[in-house]
Structure 1
Amino acid sequence: MAKTSITELQPHTDAPPASQMGRLFRIYNHYRVVVSIILVALLFVDPINFDTRFRSMDYYQAGVVSYLAINSFIALIMLAGFQPRNRHITISILMDILILHALLLTSTGITNGMANLVIVSVAAGNILTPTRIGTFYAALGAICSLGISTWSVMAFGNSADEIVRAGSLGILYFAAAFILQYVSRRMLRSEALASSRAQSIAELQQINRQIIQRMRTGILVLDRFGHIRLANAAAEELLFGIPSEEPGQQPSQGRSLPHPLRLGLEAWLKDPTRRTDPFQSTPTSPMVQVNFTQLDQQRGDQILVFIDDMSKVTQQAQQMKLASLGRLTAGIAHEIRNPLGAISHASQLMGESPNLDDGDRKMLDIIERHSRRVNGIIENVLDLSRRRAANSDLIDVSHWLSAFRDDYLQTQDNDHQKSAHIELRAEADLPQARFDVSQIEQVMVNLCDNGLRYSEQATGERRIELYAGATADGERTYVDVRDFGPGIAPEHRVSVFEPFFTTDKSGTGLGLYLARELCEANQAHLSLVDDKQPGCCFRITFAHHGRMI
């Protein structure tokens, strides 16, 4: 089967675009109106001599007035919004040629200066419609000119030079037609090529804009005074927590740069070789690293800023470390658990002996407690190596959170511990979110368990608060888990999400790290909110449901 090229499928035309053709015809019609007004005005100049020299003054006057009326009518309907088509333009050019030759016939013949106006009409016709019809304009003009000159020689006994002049005019008509057709076609092809390249550039710009908006690396364009000229969604989210989804919309414009970023910009302007230290723009924002470069090396009036989420790099390093540890643990878990199980079983048997004093029982309690802790560490590290990818669903957060609260309270209703109290509050009309329900429930269980335990330690009451709200842009939902415990010391706040960090002697130090990992797998962000209130408040900020990658 023969292949069909793209150019064969595209219709080939040398006609100018409709919008451009309408503008050119409007200009040509203005010219016709001006010419017809001048011809009418000349009727009032020396009308006695006109009568003696013109062949039919009455018909000439009627023709000039009619020509003005027709052109004025066309100008008015175009002013009212009429868009001429090819057939309208063709009829107008033919009418011009015929009317002008009729005026030549009723005036002094082909020797009249109005014959030059026919050249303009033929030229305009070939510019407006650079096709074979343009050659017909020239042929019609040449035939009419030869006909008028022949009739003048035969009827009025004029000199045969008029026929020679008519032939010269015919040559000019055809020369103007061929030259202007060639020039017009070249111009149209050049314009089509330029338009095609402009469209390709516009498409590339749109693609680049979409790529930049979807990048996870933040990009800012600043001037030397720190004013934001352009920001992609990642930069707005990392710095201000408000991603932009609308094309051209820049909610970050007009905002002030975060103080650490402004200090870094000022330091870089003084010393471009200096590297800016990582910082957090807000307590709930991730740690970011910025790099500056001049967008225009010659002018240097715009600065390009790359913003990298340091938590991603840190988490990748931690994941590599814990993945290695997980593989090691998976290999030796059996060897560890066997003696660990024997130690735990032996301590339980010893605990049943009636001959133990209080000191021995304390020692057995220490053995059992630390055996459970070692086993918990092994289980948590194994969970890291076995973690599956998130399977996200579109969730109504308010309904999901209410169902989670009811299910969680059922698991806490037993005789071995005090009853738990969970207060739930949620804003109305919250945006939906996409996440893996089982993974986020695991995060919520971890946060609620910690909150109830620390609240009981501080107040003697197992009580926490759950709150669901929307971010400042109204496009994303967050969930707060607040306890009433002793809180976290300021020097420990930056370390709570690091693996194996814990202030609880019985803890493994992996709970919050695993919780943040699961949140990141769902493109959510887990942070510790510093709102100057008692206890701790952990916030899960879900990604925009339409911007998940």
Structure 2
Amino acid sequence: MSLPQTAPAATAVPQRRELYFFNLFRTLEAGILALVAFTPLGQMTVEILQLPILQATAVIYVGAAIGLLFATRRIGRRIRRLTAIGLLFDIFATGVALLAMNGGESGIAMFMVFNIGAGALILTPTASLGFALTAASTLIIEYLFNQLLFPGYARTAAEAMMFSVTYIGMAIMGQQLRRQMSESQALADKRGEELANLSELNELVIRRMRTGVLVVDGGHHIRLSNEAAWALMGNPSPDRRDLAEVAPSLHQSLWQWRQGRGEVPKAMTFAEGSPEVLPRFVALSLTDKLFLIFLDDSRIYSDRAEELTLSTLGRLSASIAHEIRNPLAAISYSTQLLEESTSMPDTDRRLLEIIHSQCQRMNGIVQNILGLARRERSQTESLELSGFIRRFVEEYRTNHPLETDVLQAVNPSRPLVAMVDPQHLHQVLTVLVHNALTYGREPGKPAQVSLGARTDGPNGPPLIEVLDRGPGIPARVAEQIFAPFFTTSEHGTGLGLYIAKQLCEANLCTLSYQSVPGGGSCFRITLPASQSLIQTETAHG
């Protein structure tokens, strides 16, 4: 978009230079004409027929040439107009000189060849050809005029015709050269603009890179740096450019690398609280004048390793879950066959119901693990939370004997409806309740866990909370409880809360930990407000 605007201005610079030298040559021509008109040497060279007219013409031509020469430095975009005015003076001076002198006509006509060609480099094709025809007509008229008034005139018609054709040919050749120059200039402007844009883009990319980039000279003075490098070095003052002052360890490591050229730089920390950095050095020249330093945040490598580990774990979990399906299906089918027996006591039949129920629950867990590993979307549906929580508590009590522990459901004051996958929510609550009953207890006392639903304010989103009356979780540990493989138990895997959080995110919910004043822990599931409000309004309507 900017090329059409910048091209004329860029083209005007070389054209102004061409016009300047053109006017300088015109000044030389005017000086030669004045030399012929005003000095005895010139009058001895040619026969002057009309001396006063020639002298007046020389004065006018010299003044015009000098004026045009000085005007070249002050004009803006009126280059073609100034060129046309100069050519008019050239043709006028040439015509008068040819009429006022006898002899030297060929030299005067030869001067116009250069003027027509130089003007064609600046003017449009129509204008340059028009001036060439005007100059040719001037020669022909001058020849005819001298033939009528001076029968012994030495010039021939062939000479006048040859110069006329030369003028037209110079105009055409000048236009061809002008076109090529314009195309070359436009191409150069385009390449220059592309290079400027590419340079700006490269600068922006380097500035926004997560990898720090430094350019230092042989004296270890910082010449260039991006935002990431300055942040990794602790955001020192911009005035500090000495690497030994800004980052002494990096200065020392670079010096050792320059001496050995093969030693691998070690990880380092530049400021308190800043991340660990892995430097890499590259020499930009063989004369040790410039060096490029890359500063990599070690957390990037840790994140990549964790991502690779989780990816491997996902594939492993999916494989194990797939293998569990077959024996699980056999157990479920055998349970169904046993339930058809008519001679089975009621106590055994109740045990079979528990086995069958847990097989279904385990099958659901397998489905969830496979869905999490494959990043499958959740199957959300409208769910009334208070009834779901009440049924969950009853089922958990039945399948998990609590003995002296307490698990109770806190019913909300009004029905709460939300869009969520029931199987995912069941699995999440199972993890949270199991953790609360296991770890949320004071030493030697039974666990007291409550599970309830409420809204965050009158029109806020619905919340599901699992509370216990245990010792709580220290702040340092609470920051990492949702990280994969993090656990404080010798028998834990560190995946329960991580999978629970992933299942919540798959349902557009958030799982967070809240400390309880006076002791205890609270795990809160926040459902999306937009979906839950729509469902609530539909239920009330």
Q: TM-score, normalised by structure 1?
A: 0.56
CA contact (8 A) 2:64 2:89 kept: no
CA contact (8 A) 1:51 1:57 kept: no
Q: Deviations over 1:378-401 (max 9, x none)?
A: 865556655999xxxxxxxxxxxx
Instruction: Note closer, same or farther for the CA distance 1:332–1:319 as it changes in structure 2 (3 Å cut).
Output: farther
Letter in 1 for 2:195: I
Instruction: Note closer, same or farther for the CA distance 1:65–1:343 as it changes in structure 2 (3 Å cut).
Output: closer
CA contact (8 A) 1:289 1:308 kept: yes
Instruction: Note closer, same or farther for the CA distance 1:345–1:146 as it changes in structure 2 (3 Å cut).
Output: same
Aligned to 1:40: 34
Q: Is 2:78 aligned against 1:89?
A: no
- Identify the match of residue 437 of structure 2 among 332, 338, 341: 338
Moved more, 306-315 or 267-276: 306-315
Q: In the TM superposition, what are the counterparts of 1:50-199 in structure 2 within 5 Å? A: 53-80=47-74, 84-108=78-102, 111-129=105-123, 131-159=125-153, 161-199=155-193
Q: In the TM superposition, what are the counterparts of 1:114-513 in structure 2 within 5 Å? A: 114-129=108-123, 131-159=125-153, 161-239=155-233, 241-242=235-236, 251=239, 253-254=241-242, 256=244, 258-296=247-285, 301-314=289-302, 332-340=431-439, 346=445, 371-373=470-472, 381=480, 386=501
Instruction: Note closer, same or farther for the CA distance 1:170–1:52 as it changes in structure 2 (3 Å cut).
Output: closer
Shift in Å, 1:155 = 1.1
Distance 2:49 2:307 in 1: 103
Root mean square deviation of aligned Cα: 4.5
Identity of aligned residues (%): 21
Letter in 2 for 1:163: A
Shift in Å, 1:276 = 1.0
SS in 2 for 1:307: strand
**Alignment gaps of 5+ in structure 2:** 315-371, 373-426, 449-467, 484-497, 506-511, 522-541
Q: Deviations over 1:65-111 (max 9, x none)?
A: 01111122233344456653323322322331222222222122673
SS in 1 for 2:292: strand
SS in 1 for 2:78: coil
Distance 2:480 2:9 in 1: 72
Q: Deviations over 1:228-277 (max 9, x none)?
A: 2321122122225048xxxxxx7554554521111211222233332211
Letter in 1 for 2:294: F
CA contact (8 A) 1:26 1:75 kept: yes
Q: Deviations over 1:293-348 (max 9, x none)?
A: 2234x6664321110122454467679989999x9998643223224457668369
Aligned to 2:418: none
Instruction: Note closer, same or farther for the CA distance 1:377–1:155 as it changes in structure 2 (3 Å cut).
Output: closer
Q: Deviations over 1:104-130 (max 9, x none)?
A: 221226735222111111011111225
Distance 2:242 2:274 in 1: 20
SS in 2 for 1:31: helix
Q: How many pairs are equivalent?
A: 364
SS in 2 for 1:346: coil
Aligned to 1:503: none
Letter in 1 for 2:66: S
Distance 1:239 1:341 in 2: 43
SS in 2 for 1:308: strand
Letter in 1 for 2:295: I
CA contact (8 A) 2:22 2:118 kept: yes
Distance 1:15 1:381 in 2: 62
CA contact (8 A) 2:233 2:247 kept: yes
CA contact (8 A) 1:220 1:235 kept: yes
Distance 1:228 1:376 in 2: 41
Distance 1:348 1:208 in 2: 61
Distance 1:507 1:267 in 2: 54
Instruction: Note closer, same or farther for the CA distance 1:331–1:114 as it changes in structure 2 (3 Å cut).
Output: farther
Q: Is 2:17 aligned against 1:28?
A: no
Instruction: Note closer, same or farther for the CA distance 1:254–1:43 as it changes in structure 2 (3 Å cut).
Output: farther
Instruction: Note closer, same or farther for the CA distance 1:83–1:318 as it changes in structure 2 (3 Å cut).
Output: closer
Letter in 1 for 2:61: Y
Distance 2:301 2:184 in 1: 51
Q: Is 2:23 aligned against 1:18?
A: no
Instruction: Note closer, same or farther for the CA distance 1:304–1:98 as it changes in structure 2 (3 Å cut).
Output: same
Letter in 2 for 1:131: P
**Alignment gaps of 5+ in structure 1:** 1-5, 244-249, 350-368, 390-438, 450-505, 509-549
Distance 1:96 1:127 in 2: 16
Instruction: Note closer, same or farther for the CA distance 1:372–1:49 as it changes in structure 2 (3 Å cut).
Output: closer
Distance 2:51 2:443 in 1: 129
Looking at CA atoms only, which structure, 1 or 2, has the larger radius of gyration?
Answer: 2
SS in 2 for 1:129: coil
Distance 1:305 1:49 in 2: 78
Aligned to 2:319: none
Distance 1:56 1:218 in 2: 83
